[in-house]
Structure 1
Amino acid sequence: MDTFRKYINPGAGEDANQPDWGISILNVGHYIHPAGKIYPDAVHPDEYFFDYAKGRVLSEYQLVYIASGTGIFEAEFIGQVNVQPGTIFFLYPGIWHRFKPDEENGWSEYWVGFGGSYANHLMKQDCFSPEHPLIYMGFNAEFINIFIQLIDTIKFDGMGSNQLAGCLTIQLLGLVYASALLKLQSSSRKSQIINNIKYSIHENLNSDISPEKLAEKHNVSYAWFRKSFKEITGQSPGQYQLNLKIQKAAKMLLETDLGICDIAYQNGFESEYYFSRLFKSKMNLSPSRYRKEFLSRKE
């Protein structure tokens, strides 16, 4: 698609006598910024041009979709974030921001600037927030086709074009909202499965149930389970299970008179030697030393 951009004076021209639908399109465009060039290019009007070192503040909403290339984004409430192809970021009225493509890659961007009373209502929905301005859409053919229709509508500037462009922008926001909700539901579902598996680990702590068996029991693949578990807990399933066993064994050393061998077997360790070695690696003391130091502090 060819480069296009247009900045609009709302209420001017043929749309001056058209009804106000609560969303006004202020600018729209598609631009391919080549690698090795300074960003943004000098064609921006003064109120939109910015020096990256200083950033800028707008008085409108903007939806920016990066179709290809990579770069960085930063705003008032978040630090610098890497931008990948398929990323959408929102710019909010009165919120400082700055962004640019990587010099070695450049990027292709679509954007629409908008405002109005209904726009304010839409941008107060749960998934739209200045604190979380980035949403990963990925490649979405319907989304890009609507953006192309939006650009064509503004380009050919017929009767009611701004109202039609407003409807298309609402469709874009609806797709973004649906995408964000699906990702949230997927994330919630993932957390629910992992929490169920964590409960199973606690319930079977004395046994030697393997992570593979846990995955099978909960109808997920081991590869998905291992990746998702580490993503949510920060530990592999095996390490999580081992840490729980060591914590329980440490409690038994302090609260019971059981021998180290008995404690090892009750916690599913195959031998006293294996248990002692793992215990020392986690607690920096052997089991016997750990018990002795605690008892000496009590006296």
Structure 2
Amino acid sequence: MPPAPRYVAQPWLKSPLRTPVGEIQLAGLLRNVQGIDPATMRVLRHFTLVLMVEGRGYYRDEQGVAEELRPGDVVMVFPGMAHAYGPLSGSEWTQIYFVFDGPQFALWRERELLNPRRPIWRLGLPDYWHQRLREVVKGEPLLGVAAPLRALGRFLQVLSEMTATDMENARQSGGDAWLEKSLRLLGEPGTAGWPSPQTVARQVGLNYENFRKRFVQLTGESPGRYQRRRRIDLACAAIYHGELSLKHIADELGFCDVFHFSKAFTQTMRMRPSEYRKRVHGAAPMDRETNDR
């Protein structure tokens, strides 16, 4: 009987990197770590990113997700979610891990950039991502006031690139023609105004429930939320670049009146349109301010 693969642990941090917006608590490389039994799933208190570098493995969680893992896959473990992962029988296994938490990552989860419904990211290029993660905590002393903040910034950059790569790969593997058309239709008004998500679903040949589910899986947000965000993005650009009144902008973007425009803008931007205009241009003339009441 061949000997069991040798266990290797290479910690990359001697102590946590703490900043006001988030912290990296642990990071390193593990080789041939024992897997978690799916019959007795584990629950963690913090976010954990696991990059598969070598070997093949499995992932299971309390939502019923069951996936096979291969090099270049990332497992994103969420606080409080029961899960299990590990090597398949007879397979050697090398992983990179980062344990992290804090308000920045809570915001990412709230905005569904970190989405518990998508715990597996299919990235490919394991050696590339191995090197990118290694650079997060390598290259300068990690003591002092500024070093932890720089390291967190590097980690957020890598996390952003991983998220974008997974989205792109998911679109390509699933056939993205319908999605690109949907984004275009939802993101611009037509001759009859802004189409509803249900109308767009019919135009791309899908029933609405299937359309909405696939849209969320590939973009991280619902069709309606994407369209609302797109309309507000156009409103921000109009406020920043132009001299149009808020009433004119509301009419151009298909809102029934300034009140509903202001309400939608505030829900998205966390400030009223007049407040946004003051921030980007300074105080506005009084006759235009009254339209935002």
Q: TM-score, normalised by structure 2?
A: 0.51
Paired residue type of 2:22: I
Q: Pick from 74, 77, 87: which aligns with 1:101?
A: 87
Structure 1 unmatched runs, 5+: 41-49, 194-231, 233-299
Paired residue type of 1:56: R
Which residue is 1:23 aligned to?
A: 22
Residues 120 and 127 (structure 1 numbering): CA distance in 2 closer, same or farther, change over 3 Å?
closer
Paired residue type of 1:5: P
Residues 185 and 147 (structure 1 numbering): CA distance in 2 closer, same or farther, change over 3 Å?
same
Contact preservation (8 Å) 1:67, 1:86: yes
SS in 2 for 1:104: coil
Which residue is 1:4 aligned to?
A: 10
Deviation string, structure 1 residues 5-34 (Cα, Å, up to 9, x no partner):
2576657xxx6xxxx34110011011121x
Residues 125 and 184 (structure 1 numbering): CA distance in 2 closer, same or farther, change over 3 Å?
farther
Distance in 1 (alpha carbons) for counterparts of 2:164 and 2:23? 22
Give matches, 1:93-132, under 5 Å: 93-132=79-118
Give matches, 1:68-87, under 5 Å: 68-87=54-73
Deviation (angstroms), 1:166 = 1.1
Identity among equivalent pairs (%)? 17
Distance in 1 (alpha carbons) for counterparts of 2:171 and 2:59? 26
Residues 8 and 93 (structure 1 numbering): CA distance in 2 closer, same or farther, change over 3 Å?
farther
Deviation (angstroms), 1:185 = 4.0
Structure 2 unmatched runs, 5+: 1-7, 181-213, 215-293
SS in 1 for 2:163: helix
Residues 80 and 58 (structure 1 numbering): CA distance in 2 closer, same or farther, change over 3 Å?
same
Deviation (angstroms), 1:68 = 1.4
Contact preservation (8 Å) 1:73, 1:80: yes
Give matches, 1:153-172, under 5 Å: 157-159=142-144, 160-172=146-158
SS in 1 for 2:161: helix
**Total equivalences in the alignment:** 174
Deviation string, structure 1 residues 222-260 (Cα, Å, up to 9, x no partner):
xxxxxxxxxx9xxxxxxxxxxxxxxxxxxxxxxxxxxxx
Which residue is 1:189 aligned to?
A: 176
Residues 60 and 23 (structure 1 numbering): CA distance in 2 closer, same or farther, change over 3 Å?
same
Larger Rg: 1
Which moved further from structure 2: 93-102 or 156-165?
156-165
Contact preservation (8 Å) 1:127, 1:181: no
Distance in 2 (alpha carbons) for counterparts of 1:137 and 1:149? 18
Q: TM-score, normalised by structure 1?
A: 0.50
Distance in 2 (alpha carbons) for counterparts of 1:184 and 1:84? 16
Q: With a CA cutoff of 8 Å and minimum separation of 6, indicate the structure with the bigger relative contact order.
A: 1
Deviation string, structure 1 residues 38-88 (Cα, Å, up to 9, x no partner):
705xxxxxxxxx666422111110111101100111111133321111111
RMSD between aligned residues: 3.2
Which residue is 1:136 aligned to?
A: 122
